[in-house]
Amino acid sequence: MADECDVLIIGAGPAGLMLGCWLARTGVKTRIIDRRASKITRGHADGVQCRTIEIFQSFGMADRIEKEGNELAEVVFYNPDQDGNLVPTSRIPDTEPNTSRFRHRVLNQGRIEDFLIDCMKTGGLTVERSISPLSLELSDSTTENHPVTVKVQHLIPVEEASDPSSGLYRSNILSDEEFNRSASKGGKIESIKAKYVVGCDGARSWTRNQLGFSLEGDSANIYWGVMDARPITDLPDVRVKVVLHSADSGSLLIVPREQNLVRFYIQMGTLQPGEKLDASAQSPEKIIESARKILAPYTLECPEVQWWSVYEIGQRLCKDVSFRNRVFLAGDAFHTHSPKGGQGMNVSMMDSYNLGWKLAACAKGIASPSILDTYGGERVEVARELIEFDHKVSRLFSGKPAVAESEGVSMEEFQALWIRMGKWTSGTAVKYDPSLVMTESTAAKTELAKNIIVGSHFESHMVVCYADAHAVQFADRLVADGRWRLIVFAGDLGRPNQLQRFNDFCSRLTNAHDSPIKKYTPPDADLNSVIEVLTLTSSPRKALSYSAFPELARPFVGRFRYPTYDQIFSDELSYLDGGGEAYSGYGVDPNGPGCVVIVRPDQHVADVLGFEGCVEKSGRFFDGFMMHV
Amino acid sequence: MADECDVLIIGAGPAGLMLGCWLARTGVKTRIIDRRASKITRGHADGVQCRTIEIFQSFGMADRIEKEGNELAEVVFYNPDQDGNLVPTSRIPDTEPNTSRFRHRVLNQGRIEDFLIDCMKTGGLTVERSISPLSLELSDSTTENHPVTVKVQHLIPVEEASDPSSGLYRSNILSDEEFNRSASKGGKIESIKAKYVVGCDGARSWTRNQLGFSLEGDSANIYWGVMDARPITDLPDVRVKVVLHSADSGSLLIVPREQNLVRFYIQMGTLQPGEKLDASAQSPEKIIESARKILAPYTLECPEVQWWSVYEIGQRLCKDVSFRNRVFLAGDAFHTHSPKGGQGMNVSMMDSYNLGWKLAACAKGIASPSILDTYGGERVEVARELIEFDHKVSRLFSGKPAVAESEGVSMEEFQALWIRMGKWTSGTAVKYDPSLVMTESTAAKTELAKNIIVGSHFESHMVVCYADAHAVQFADRLVADGRWRLIVFAGDLGRPNQLQRFNDFCSRLTNAHDSPIKKYTPPDADLNSVIEVLTLTSSPRKALSYSAFPELARPFVGRFRYPTYDQIFSDELSYLDGGGEAYSGYGVDPNGPGCVVIVRPDQHVADVLGFEGCVEKSGRFFDGFMMHV
């Protein structure tokens, strides 16, 4: 008898765990398996971009990254001067102002996985390790509830033979030997039947191979070393990010990490076309030697190397990420690139942040499976853009700089591209195209809210909570719990006319038969259980008593019908933490008619509407994919 | 054979645990015992003042209170209008601007104890429960290393008979029956020999009784109820602090807590002189009934009361807190008062924060036992001020307000006193008098640093870390690890003259025979192991390369002589987080000669000195109490 679950996740790296968080938090019956006997503890990815921390915040755990991760505050470019000597040529902030309420941080992938694992646990989900998939079958029957069958083998854990202080970069080429070693002893075989299966199993994805899909792309025939160490050096900038081109000895990237560790990326050499990188010939000593040449005349000692690896520059993409909307790929399983942009782990988690709420809604039967088409539609485009940037930057990074009159890469051009890429790789520039769960941007929508972009994520501004006077980041209220949100810019409720318009609007949204809240909230459920209304007034708190708001704005919930206190906000100056600039930040007229923003469970803005016609229009939008439970 | 330890702490409430944190973190051999079989989980104290959170930050755990505790952002005063109807008369911030980088928060005492327990654990110390002290003896021998002997009995835990939802306020009068119940079954008897014993055993302190000391003070013959509940009410301000006087039915205080709980303090009745409060006649229903009368015409329903109690208003103080500098009292053991100021737990933890570093230094033999005199000298004065404030405020709070022409308490006067008290009870106003470990304030010192007050704690301003460009709160660097600090305002190091003065000063401090760093740092220890130098330049980071600072400012430490990166800061605008106002905030001339601030391990400013003569003067200061190891 096969075990049944809603979703089977294959692979417990960042992409798989992020998906697990969504599914655990939304109460979807899930299993997550991994062939490895234990979690990684050192090395691998380490950059955590702004948007990723925003996502972590939606699960209530950004503080853990903020506490442990090292903030990247500055980038210094070192280039050869006219005489070929290394000099710092400019300093810029690593996170551009107004990018996000969070900053880029750097933290060991293993710790990031810990946070995700802890988050999953709060929803009752844990990783099952030492389980290797054997076969995958999708039934042709359209009536079967759990049409995907995955046969798996429980492995008898063998001691990991590899030295944790070394390891070749996982998202790249080279031997499969290490990867297969742990599968050498097989145990019990089990069949798992699932509604959906997601392959989060990395660059060598077993799931992708089962589907017959492949990664396509090319390699630059250049290889780099990567190493985590605590350096002793007279380079004065080893605790900020350093982007360094030497005149003749190659390039180097310094990324300062937690606990005074430093991640070094070091250009090492080139390969002939078709030549394979010889793993056995690599060593930390060779990496340090290359680094010394590049850094000269600055000195470098690394008494302890915590982790090291060597990888070849390359970019590869799999254009197919879904098989009949039943089996999906996420993360490295469909895109690989060079690690220096700090993107691999971030984009991978974003993939499954996009997929998670959609799968949850389908598994629970509250949304039509057709929304699953939008996963590939939205994420393959992001991966393609990423690879394009990475292709350009990594080749310029490995190029010899133009010094004085010599030919080579223009350092001005390189730096400008790096900054452009930085904006993009913060993760905040992602904008999804129109689809079943995303309307088109129009001039009329822009007129209502000039800085709210349909397709982009809903940005954060400081607002004041009506009930408790707390200054809060508005986007902190966009909790990842699977709910959609209507963000109501109520305008100035001190004006009787506007108050009347707002009350009338709330009344229609509560009672009209074509209102999405009326239609899709089960009769015995709390008023905010499917779609949560968040109200932001432009008038200050004292303009209207909290008790005077309609129930839709502050519903009574749970067994005892306790009041809610966290759905109404005002755009005013808080006592101690600023604020009062949200309407202008969002580009909404504080004295105007107000508007309503539809926000998806993944924080992306799906529509902007005026009060008039909002109930009908939003009703039709939700009718496109919501299903009655 | 008796077990030996450096310090025995009796009582694992907030005062005892805070002391445990200090001793565990400084590596002092400590035991902490408590007669109770388990930690409290509900009710009791809940207010956490700004200064307390600063202290928590010094142990690296302010974030836990910030995450879980409810911020108190606003106070609303409700008073009767001319017709006796309750109206909100004013709204003010609960934390005055510029009080602290932290805000008042409210969180269950049990959680606060959890944080302290976790902190102690990182130093290897855990609470031993179900142990009751039987006798205390202090040897007259002056040569004995562990002169205090405490005989204790291990209790066989009996099931706690008391209902956790009720309980009479622990820092007050009433029957000892409940308290003694858990001691009814005795087990093994053990002798513990200690260098020092600290009684943190609450208002009914066993230790105090052993010493023959007593609490003195009086009672107001007024009793109040206290209750934690999730209210359903049409009072619109139940998520901010409400200070409410009704015309005829008494007063009430609302303190919103975590998880939508609300702490209510409710005036209930008066007692005849000599009359004892009848505990058995109290109930949550009676408390709610009193609250309803006071709140009318506002409604109140409390479907679930999580905890409740009744207490009599009173203030009591024990003027003796030390017996021959071997046995000490801390917290409620020497001062009790009414709970509404949220002071009991805070002042108690401050007591042992003051005592902890002194005991640690004496136990390790690096400071003379005479510094222990300063504990009582500093803390009894604080307790006396606290009790004076509490006496005034609690009587005005319980008084009938003057409405229209009637006699009574002036609400203006009460509100003004409340605000004054608020500043004091933030804990940031504490200033210690001159002593062996505190110099006198002089005009010359004020001239050097106008806003740095000798005796007060070193305040925080945003500064930029030289090595990594992080914007950091300067006081975050005052970690509670037992080290003293010299904070060097280096001035403008872009000016060659000032750079020369600074380098000369560092050289003297490193090498001169009368330098306290030279004298008291063991020859084989890291340069920053006893006294840490923190440098703040008024010039920006780009004015001087990090590598150009003298080694004293950025010492090399540990087995591999790794560089430090967290001791040099600049007063400049950071990329994203403000800054550049520290010199003006501290009142130090950015273009002036600079100065040096001596900061104690508990963050209090012990002296302010100019560069000239600093080595000699600071040397003499440390000579007053430091001992060669």
SS3 annotation, B428-453: CCCCCCCECCECCCCHHHHHHCCCCC
pLDDT at A544 exceeding the cut of 70 = yes
Q: Between B143 and A17, where is the model more confident?
A: A17
Compute CA distances A321 → A18, A138, A212, A337, B391, whole Å. 17, 16, 11, 17, 71
pLDDT digits (tens, 9 = 90+) for A83-109: 989 999 999 999 888 899 999 999 999
Q: How confident is the model at residue A350 (pLDDT cuts 50, 70, 90)?
A: very high
Rounded Cα gap, residues A115 and A106, in angstroms? 14
The answer to whether the beta carbons of residues B470 and A71 sit under 8 Å apart is yes
Binary contact (A547, B234; C-beta < 8 A): yes
Rounded Cα gap, residues B347 and B345, in angstroms? 6
Kindly name the residue from B78, B169, B223, B265 that is annotated as catalytic: B265
Q: Which residues of B touch A230 (CB under 8 A)?
A: 560, 562
Read off the DSSP letter of residue A573. Answer: B
Binary contact (A468, B239; C-beta < 8 A): yes
Residue A106's pLDDT is what? Answer: 94
Binary contact (B546, A71; C-beta < 8 A): no
**DSSP-derived 3-state class of residue B459:** coil
Residue A470's pLDDT is what? Answer: 97
Residue of B71, B96, B262, B544 best to disrupt the A interface, most CBs of A under 10 A? B71
Binary contact (A563, B232; C-beta < 8 A): yes
pLDDT digits (tens, 9 = 90+) for A470-500: 999 999 999 999 999 999 999 999 999 999 9
Residue type, A604: H
Residue A402's pLDDT is what? Answer: 84
Q: Which residues of A touch B260 (CB under 8 A)?
A: 562, 565
Residue B165's pLDDT is what? Answer: 44
Residue A419 φ then ψ, to 5°:
-65, -45
Rounded Cα gap, residues B536 and B490, in angstroms? 6
Q: What angle do CA B170, B176, B177 make, to 5 degrees?
A: 115
The answer to whether the beta carbons of residues B341 and B404 sit under 8 Å apart is no
Binary contact (B230, A74; C-beta < 8 A): no
Q: What is the 3-state secondary structure (H, E, C) of A218-273?
A: EEEEEEEEEEEECCEECCCCCCCEEEEECCCCCEEEEEECHHHCEEEEEEEEECCC
Q: What is the 3-state secondary structure (H, E, C) of B321-371?
A: CEECCCEEECHHHCEECCHHHCCHHHHHHHHHHHHHHHHHHHHCCCECHHH
Q: What angle do CA B155, B160, B161 make, to 5 degrees?
A: 130
Binary contact (A575, B93; C-beta < 8 A): yes
Closest chain A CA to residue B241:
A468
The answer to whether the beta carbons of residues B596 and B622 sit under 8 Å apart is no
**DSSP-derived 3-state class of residue A346:** helix
Read off the DSSP letter of residue B408. Answer: S
Kindly name the residue from A257, A316, A485, A600 that is annotated as catalytic: A257
Binary contact (B468, A240; C-beta < 8 A): yes
Which residues of chain B register pLDDT less than 50? 161-179, 181-183
Strands A562-563 and A556-557: antiparallel
Closest chain B CA to residue A94:
B575
Binary contact (A561, B232; C-beta < 8 A): yes
Q: Give the predicted TM-score (pTM) of the model.
A: 0.93
Which residues in B315-335 are b (16+ Cβ under 10 Å) and which e? bbbbeebbbebbbbbbbbbbb
Where is A424: in which H helix or E strand?
helix A411-425
Kindly name the residue from A265, A353, A375, A466 that is annotated as catalytic: A265
Question: Mean per-residue pLDDT for A198-222?
Answer: 93
- How many Cβ pairs closer than 8 A exist between chain A and B? 96
Q: Which residues of B touch A545 (CB under 8 A)?
A: 236
**ipTM of the shown complex:** 0.91
How near does any CA of chain B get to the CA of A565, in Å?
A: 8
- Give the A-side interface with B, CB within 8 Å: 63, 67, 70-71, 73-74, 91, 93, 95, 97, 103, 230, 232, 234, 236-240, 256, 260, 303-304, 467-471, 542, 545-548, 560-563, 565, 574-576
Residues with Cβ within 8 Å of B272's Cβ and at least 6 positions away in sequence, in order, are B221
pLDDT at A230 exceeding the cut of 70 = yes
pLDDT digits (tens, 9 = 90+) for B504-518: 999 999 999 999 999
Whether B257 sits among the annotated catalytic residues: the reply is yes
Cis, peptide link before residue B297, omega less than 30° from 0: yes
pLDDT digits (tens, 9 = 90+) for B540-576: 999 999 999 999 999 999 999 999 999 999 999 999 9
Nearest CB to A575: which of B73, B239, B575? B73
Binary contact (B468, A239; C-beta < 8 A): yes
Rounded Cα gap, residues B188 and B154, in angstroms? 5
Tokens at B21, concatenated:
């944190």
Q: How confident is the model at residue A158 (pLDDT cuts 50, 70, 90)?
A: low
Rounded Cα gap, residues B444 and A372, in angstroms? 73
Whether B492 sits among the annotated catalytic residues: the reply is no
Nearest CB to A260: which of B234, B237, B565? B565
Closest chain A CA to residue B232:
A562
Kindly name the residue from B6, B34, B46, B237 that is annotated as catalytic: B46
Closest CA to A299 of A310, A291, A309, A307: A291
Q: How far is CA B39 from the centre of its chain?
A: 20
Classify residue A395 as exposed, middle or buried by CB count within 10 Å of its CB (0-12, 13-18, 19+): middle
Closest CA to A566 of A491, A470, A457: A470
Tokens 């928590």 — which residue? B56
